[in-house]
């Protein structure tokens, strides 16, 4: 059995002081070694990998298009962002050609919109890139870089195949459009031609010659010319040629609109048109489609007869011919360069002839000059109405009655009230077309007679601001 390590009895060495010190030193040696092992270990510094040459200097190649993309690693989608930026960069190296006599060249010369369109085409090119390859990536603590490459021969091969398919599709659509127009179906023909042009959109800047019906034609130009031919060939007509609005038709008139095509005079069924004219509540815009015989009917009514330009404008609704499936970024410039057929129908405003009758009294005595009737005549005349001296010559008979009565006197001030009634009848039928009145119009003055005149002055203002507008609203909204 082992004794106590520090018991000096079993060991003669501990019987002397030097021996004791030696034993203690030996006991401390393992502790010192432990403390030395616990000393901190130096951590080596991580060094960023050196940037590759393609990061510091853009690669240049005659055989490939290059795209370099950079994104901050603070973004959660930094890898996808760097790729997108690289492909955008790559696409920017692929130029959009604009050849002479191409559709884009023609439109630029006439309508000045090629810069915007070229930007749209470039965006389309970026979205349709194929055949590219990832060459390398690089990243540090803050940035992520990508390097993509697209061989020019591979790009040319892919583009040639796409163009072949686009031309084949556009040619088929064009031939179908020609057949549709031959039957009078302009709506379908226009849609097919527009679809054919959109199918060729990536090549509007190129002058591609194709054989169609035995003719060699620049396809994109031929399609655009066909759209112009269809739009410009529509002939719109309206009956009557002038729209007369008067009291006899209650300011309402039906228009018959016909649509035909210039080549052969064939009727155009299901053609969308718009009808515009100034309405009493604002500009009116109606949409119609012609029927199977190329006709459409509309009623012109509730017209703002005070509008400076009184006319009905009938036009082909070009936008309605465009399918909502087609991207307006490509169709809008085309439609904006087309001449839209329209026909203008003047509106002849013939206001009613009016005969006035009635009495206006102040406290039972006839008023000289009939101030209320005078105010109404002035307002109606300013709007084109004509007053006549004989009832037999009138369209409308206006019966205006008014009188005052006393109410009382207080502190030297005399008060009267005025009552007036208005009745308008159709002279030919005897029908009452409008009734109105104004009760208890108060007048206050130093005597009753002058108070009555004060009441008439206020009532005349009411005639101008209330009774006449209400009458006009009734007449024109029937």
Residues 150-181: tens digit of each pLDDT: 999 999 999 899 999 999 999 999 999 999 99
| Stretch among 85-99, 187-201, 297-311, 386-400 having the lowest mean pLDDT | 85-99
Residue 42 has pLDDT above 70, yes or no: no
CA distances from 289 to 143, 193, 253, 258, 268 (A): 60, 20, 19, 11, 10
Q: Residue 204: which pLDDT band, with cuts at 50, 70 and 90?
A: confident
Q: Residue 452: which pLDDT band, with cuts at 50, 70 and 90?
A: very high
Could you write out the DSSP letters of every residue in 170-185? HHHHHHHHHHHHHTT-
Residues 105-138: tens digit of each pLDDT: 777 666 655 566 656 665 665 557 889 999 999 9
**Predicted local distance difference test score (pLDDT) of residue 321:** 93
Phi and psi, residue 438, nearest 5°: -145, 125
As a whole-number percent, the residues of the chain with pLDDT over 70 amount to: 85
Q: State both tokens at 297.
A: 């009917």
Peptide bond into 128 cis (omega under 30): no
Residue 9 has pLDDT above 60, yes or no: no
Integer Cα distance of 337 and 322 in angstroms? 14
Q: Residue 15: which pLDDT band, with cuts at 50, 70 and 90?
A: very low
Q: What is the pTM of this model?
A: 0.70
Name which of 366, 375, 450 is nearest 416 in CA terms.
450
CA distances from 279 to 203, 286, 296, 473, 476 (A): 46, 11, 20, 12, 11
**Predicted local distance difference test score (pLDDT) of residue 306:** 82
Could you write out the DSSP letters of every residue in 220-277? HHHHHHHHHHHHHHEEEEEESSSEEE-GGGTT-EEEEEEEEETTTT-B-TT-EEEEEE
Q: Residue 94: which pLDDT band, with cuts at 50, 70 and 90?
A: confident
Integer Cα distance of 228 and 102 in angstroms? 16
Q: Are 231 and 262 in contact (CB under 8 A)?
A: no
Q: Where are the beta strands (DSSP E) in 6-132?
A: 64-72
Q: State both tokens at 293.
A: 């015989």
**Predicted local distance difference test score (pLDDT) of residue 423:** 97
Q: Residue 374: which pLDDT band, with cuts at 50, 70 and 90?
A: very high
More confident residue, 24 or 176: 176
Residue 270 has pLDDT above 60, yes or no: yes
Phi and psi, residue 130, nearest 5°: -140, 160
Within this chain, domains 61-97+107-154 and 353-476 share the same CATH topology: no
Select 61-97+107-154's CATH number: 1.10.3210.10, 3.20.80.10, 3.40.50.170, 3.10.28.20: 3.10.28.20
Q: Where are the beta strands (DSSP E) in 303-384?
A: 311-316, 342-349, 353-357, 361-362, 365-366
More confident residue, 115 or 383: 383
Residues 209-229: tens digit of each pLDDT: 888 778 888 898 899 999 999
| Sequence ranges of the domains in the chain | 61-97+107-154, 235-320+340-349, 353-476
Domain 235-320+340-349 has CATH 2.60.40.10: yes
Please tell me whether residue 29 adopts helix, strand or coil conformation.
helix
In DSSP terms, 405 is beta-bridged to 417
Pairing of strands 295-300, 361-362: unpaired
Please tell me whether residue 167 adopts helix, strand or coil conformation.
helix
Pairing of strands 353-357, 386-387: parallel
Class (C level, CATH) for 353-476: alpha beta
As a whole-number percent, the residues of the chain with pLDDT over 90 amount to: 65
Integer Cα distance of 372 and 311 in angstroms? 34
**Predicted local distance difference test score (pLDDT) of residue 44:** 60
**Predicted local distance difference test score (pLDDT) of residue 12:** 47
Average pLDDT of the residues in 2-8: 44
CA dihedral 369, 372, 375, 380 (to 10 degrees): -120
Integer Cα distance of 467 and 461 in angstroms? 9
**Predicted local distance difference test score (pLDDT) of residue 103:** 80
Phi and psi, residue 28, nearest 5°: -85, -15
């Amino acid at each position: 059995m082992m004794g106590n390590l520090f018991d000096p009895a079993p060991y003669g060495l501990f019987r002397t002081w030097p021996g004791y010190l030696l034993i203690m030193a030996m006991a401390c040696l393992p502790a010192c070694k432990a403390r030395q092992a616990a000393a901190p270990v130096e951590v080596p510094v991580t060094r960023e990998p050196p940037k590759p040459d393609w990061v510091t200097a853009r690669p240049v190649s005659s055989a490939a298009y290059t795209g370099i993309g950079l994104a901050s690693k603070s973004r959660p989608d930094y890898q996808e962002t760097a790729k997108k930026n690289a492909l955008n960069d790559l696409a920017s190296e692929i130029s959009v050609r604009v050849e002479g006599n191409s559709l884009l060249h023609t439109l630029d010369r006439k309508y000045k919109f090629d810069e915007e369109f070229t930007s749209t085409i470039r965006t389309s090119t970026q979205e349709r890139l194929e055949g590219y390859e990832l060459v390398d990536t690089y990243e540090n603590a803050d940035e992520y870089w990508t390097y993509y490459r697209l061989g020019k021969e591979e790009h040319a091969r892919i583009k040639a195949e796409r163009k072949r398919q686009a031309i084949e599709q556009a040619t088929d659509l064009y031939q179908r459009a020609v057949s549709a127009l031959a039957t009078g179906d302009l709506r379908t023909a226009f849609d097919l031609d527009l679809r054919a042009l959109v199918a060729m959109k990536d090549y509007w800047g190129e002058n591609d010659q194709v054989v169609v019906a035995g003719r060699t034609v620049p396809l994109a130009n031929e399609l655009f010319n066909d759209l112009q031919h269809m739009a410009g060939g529509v002939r719109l007509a309206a009956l009557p040629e002038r729209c007369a609005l008067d009291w006899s038709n209650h300011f309402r008139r039906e228009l018959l609109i016909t649509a035909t095509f210039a080549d052969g005079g064939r009727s155009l069924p299901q053609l969308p048109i718009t009808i515009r004219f100034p309405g009493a509540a604002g500009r009116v815009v109606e949409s119609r489609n012609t029927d199977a015989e190329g006709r459409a009917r509309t009623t012109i009514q509730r017209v703002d007869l005070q509008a400076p330009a009184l006319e009905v404008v009938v036009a082909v609704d070009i936008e309605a011919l465009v399918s909502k499936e087609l991207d307006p970024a490509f169709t809008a410039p085309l439609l904006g360069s087309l001449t839209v057929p329209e026909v203008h129908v003047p509106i002849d405003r013939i206001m009613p002839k009016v005969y006035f009758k009635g009495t206006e009294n102040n406290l039972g005595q006839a008023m000289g000059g009939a101030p209320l009737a005078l105010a109404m005549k002035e307002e109606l005349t300013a709007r084109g109405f004509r007053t006549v001296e004989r009832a037999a010559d009138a369209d409308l008979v206006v019966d205006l009655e008014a009188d005052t009565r006393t109410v009382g006197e207080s502190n030297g001030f005399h008060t009267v009230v005025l009552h007036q009634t208005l009745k308008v009848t159709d002279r030919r039928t005897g029908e009452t077309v409008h009734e109105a009145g104004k009760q208890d119009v108060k007048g206050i003055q130093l005597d009753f007679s002058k108070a009555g005149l004060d009441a008439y002055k206020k009532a005349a203002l009411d005639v101008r601001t209330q009774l006449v507008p209400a009458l006009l609203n009734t007449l024109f909204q029937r």
